[in-house]
Amino acid sequence: MATRVVIGTQWGDEGKGKYIDILAADSDIVVRFSGGNNAGHTIVAGGTKYALHLIPSGILHEGTTCIIGNGVVVDPAVLIKEINELKDKGVNTDKLLISDRAHVIMPYHKRMDELQEIARGKDNIGTTKRGIGPAYADKTERCGIRMCDLIDEEIFAEKVRANLRIKNAIIEKVYGGEGFDADSIIAEYSEYAKILKKYITDTSVVLFDAVEKGKNILFEGAQATFLDLDFGTYPYVTSSNPVAGGVCTGAGLGPVFIDEVYGVFKAYTSRVGAGPFPTEQNNEIGDKIRELGWEYGTTTGRPRRCGWLDAVMLKYAARVNGLTALAINHVDTIGKLEKIKLCTAYIKDGQKVDYFPASLKELSKCEPVYEEFDGWNEDISKVKSFDELPDNAKKYLKRIEELVGVKIKLIGVGKDRENTIVVD
């Protein structure tokens, strides 16, 4: 039995979906434990592209059970659309399960997300406007609606009416927006309930049973360490805990069952939305990386901000997640640059620091210290072993391992699941 966790170590979009799809080949169960459809996970298999937002990236493997855990917030309309799109592509979605404790994203969450962003003005977070933050806020506020409530007509109607009394007042009186009619929400969501009912169950029981039977379980991180509510660049973060610790609370499995934690990162760094980014290249280098790596959001289509790889961030991610392995992507992309920079530390107030400060004011004083590497402008997409990589690529990867103190086990040299080096 092996229980593996795959998480993002930067600001998201590191290529987690691609590695989940690969590792799912020998996993019995793949589980999403945090976030919602703010995530966009891309898989390219046999030339076909799949963009998944809620359904775990193990779904392409016929025998794999895919679980949406209790820590996820679920927009039922988006989920149903995703199920239908996969079915249209010939993917079997019968082995999908949804936790009865997962919270439901409601229409007022999406509207609140938009109105709050407008109200923040120039200090906006740049959210995906999918209602994620307001849904988690309601969970904490104890007025959220869970999947078990969605499929109970009486309780659902009661909760919608109780919520709308307050939500409509806030939307209309505080934000000057338009409120909602309870009956139409109840009618719309009762249709979703009918479709989703067969998938909803106590998934924590399913997981524990699988552990007892010695099955292989894979946890699929969404978002990333620096978007984590506690460990990210607060307040420019998402509203859940995408770090490895989120597995236990977001799926209902104890920490003793976790064997390995893979930290995924790109050979450079990208970020969508607002917030600090010490190695950002808001210049022609950043533009070049964006075009070479095609850095446009899988969920919102927004251009991603791009910059150099930051080993200070990776070291921090290794610590807070307990990483046992690193998985790099876009080694093909970065090699196309003539010169590559890697941030090894920061200079703050004249002192060298190798930690990531909590205070954004302190962080803004951090100037990256770089080491420079030569690129390797050759097609490496078919390379299958570390030894066959160009010498310049090997030097770059070895230096990253040395700085972070964790071994690189997976190397991405292209978009397709085939373009992967598994290091022995």
| Contact set with Mg ion (CB under 5 A) | 13, 40, 298
Choose among ligand IMO, ligand GDP, Mg ion, none what residue 245 binds, the Cβ cut-off being 5 to 8 Å by kind. Answer: none
Choose among ligand GDP, ligand IMO, Mg ion, none what residue 132 binds, the Cβ cut-off being 5 to 8 Å by kind. Answer: ligand IMO
Alpha carbons 107 and 171: distance in angstroms, whole number? 12
Is 304 a binder of ligand GDP (CB under 6 A)?
Answer: no
Choose among ligand GDP, ligand IMO, Mg ion, none what residue 278 binds, the Cβ cut-off being 5 to 8 Å by kind. Answer: none
Q: How many CB atoms lie within 10 A of CB 338?
A: 7
Alpha carbons 278 and 386: distance in angstroms, whole number? 30
Smallest distance from ligand GDP to CB 384, Å: 14
**According to the annotation, is 330 in a ligand binding site?**
yes
Catalytic choice (53, 103, 109, 139): 139
Is 263 a binder of ligand GDP (CB under 6 A)?
Answer: no
Q: Which residue from 43, 38, 27, 31 is spatially nearest to 7, judged by alpha carbons?
A: 31
- The correct pick among 69, 275, 286, 414 for binding ligand GDP (CB under 6 A) is 414
Is 307 a binder of ligand IMO (CB under 6 A)?
Answer: no
Is 327 a binder of ligand IMO (CB under 6 A)?
Answer: no
Smallest distance from ligand IMO to CB 68, Å: 14
Q: Which stretch binds ligand GDP (CB under 6 A): 84-92, 198-206, 280-288, 408-416?
A: 408-416
Query: Does 41 qualify as catalytic in the annotation?
Result: yes
Is 329 a binder of ligand GDP (CB under 6 A)?
Answer: yes
Alpha carbons 160 and 181: distance in angstroms, whole number? 10
String marking each residue 124-163 x if it binds ligand IMO according to CB under 6 A: -xxxx-x-xx------------------------------
Secondary structure of the chain as H, E, C letters: CCEEEEEECCCCCCCHHHHHHHHHHHCCEEEECCECCCCCEEEEECCEEEEECCCCCCCCCCCCEEEECCCEEECHHHHHHHHHHHHHCCCCCCCEEEECCCEECCHHHHHHHHHHHHHHHHHCCCCCCCCHHHHHHHHHHCCCCEHHHHCCHHHHHHHHHHHHHHHHHHHHHHCCCCCCCHHHHHHHHHHHHHHHHHHEECHHHHHHHHHHCCCCEEEECCCCHHHCCCCCCCCCCCCCCCCCCHHHHHHHCCHHHCCEEEEEEECCEEECCCCCCCCECCCHHHHHHHHHHCCECCCCCCECEEECEEHHHHHHHHHHHCCCEEEEECHHHHCCCCEEEEEEEEEECCEEECCCCCCHHHHHCCEEEEEEEECCCCCCCCCCCHHHCCHHHHHHHHHHHHHHCCCEEEEECCCECCCEEECC
Query: Does 13 qualify as catalytic in the annotation?
Result: yes
**According to the annotation, is 247 in a ligand binding site?**
no
**According to the annotation, is 273 in a ligand binding site?**
no
Catalytic choice (41, 53, 109, 266): 41
Choose among ligand GDP, Mg ion, ligand IMO, none what residue 417 binds, the Cβ cut-off being 5 to 8 Å by kind. Answer: none
Is 39 a binder of ligand IMO (CB under 6 A)?
Answer: yes
**According to the annotation, is 249 in a ligand binding site?**
no
Closer to ligand IMO by Cβ: residue 310 or 344? 310
Residues numbered 199-238 forming contacts with ligand IMO, rule: CB under 6 A: 222-224, 227, 238
**According to the annotation, is 114 in a ligand binding site?**
no
Binding residues: 12-18, 38-42, 128, 142, 223, 238, 298-304, 330-332, 412-414
Binding residues for IMP: 13-16, 38-41, 128, 142, 223, 238, 302
Q: What residues make contact with ligand GDP under the rule CB under 6 A?
A: 8, 12-18, 40-42, 44, 298, 329-330, 332-333, 412-415
Q: What residues make contact with ligand IMO under the rule CB under 6 A?
A: 8, 11-13, 38-41, 125-128, 130, 132-133, 222-224, 227, 238-239, 272-273, 298
